[in-house]
Amino acid sequence: MAATTHDAGTRRDFLYVASGAMGAVGVAAIAWPFVDQMNPSTAALALASTEVDLSTVQPGQQVIVKWRGHPLFVRRRTPAEIASAKAVDVNSLPDPLAYNDNLPDNSPATDANRAIKPEWLILIGVCTHLGCTPTVSTPQMPEGDYGGWLCHCHGSQYDTAGRIRKGPAPRNLQVPPYSFLSATRIKVG
């Protein structure tokens, strides 16, 4: 009798563990759809691209267009702004990486790596701190100390190449994937 009880016990233990494990796998399998439904849907994932006409943008001016729900900065830089961006030592920057989707990830944040053509700076207008849209600085209405942008939410300051110089933001403004279709037209995305 004792042996039978023992056998029944191990068999029961096995069934307990096996059904418990199966149940856990089942719960995990059914939990995933409920987690993943929160992620962007296929409609949101469909990469939208936007074309921007540059011919109306004057030197020193910035226009903002919408791309994938975010503001996109299109800034036509003056020679003085380009020169001040080039004069900066990359090693002195808080963030030395270019964050340019058109270049390898480890590219340094030189001015040349931030803009395909020096005159045109194309950036995603989302502060890398907490996502506000920074305000552009112009000689007439300066914003911050570096001539680029100032984010009024929490005081991050960017230079004329959109690189973080001061404040809580950890990264340079992102450069989106874009290409020139002609001298006065770009395609973003």
Binding site for other proteins (CB under 8 A): 35, 38-41, 44, 64, 66, 68-71, 125-126, 129-135, 151-155, 167-170
Half-sphere exposure of 58 (CA within 13 A, CB side): 3
Smallest separation (angstroms) from other proteins to the CB of 47: 10
CB proximity list for 166: less than 8 A, separation 6 or greater: 94, 144, 145, 146, 155, 156, 157
Is there a contact between 106 and 97 (Cβ–Cβ < 8 Å)? yes
Smallest separation (angstroms) from other proteins to the CB of 169: 7
Six-digit token string for 164: 């973080």
Smallest separation (angstroms) from other proteins to the CB of 168: 5
Catalytic residue of the set 6, 129, 152, 154: 154
Q: Which residues pair with 182 in a beta bridge?
A: 185
Nearer to other proteins, 32 or 180 (CB): 32
Q: How far is CA 91 from the centre of its chain?
A: 22
Nearer to other proteins, 71 or 118 (CB): 71
Annotation says 129 is catalytic: no
Nearer to other proteins, 5 or 69 (CB): 69
Q: Which residues are catalytic?
A: 154
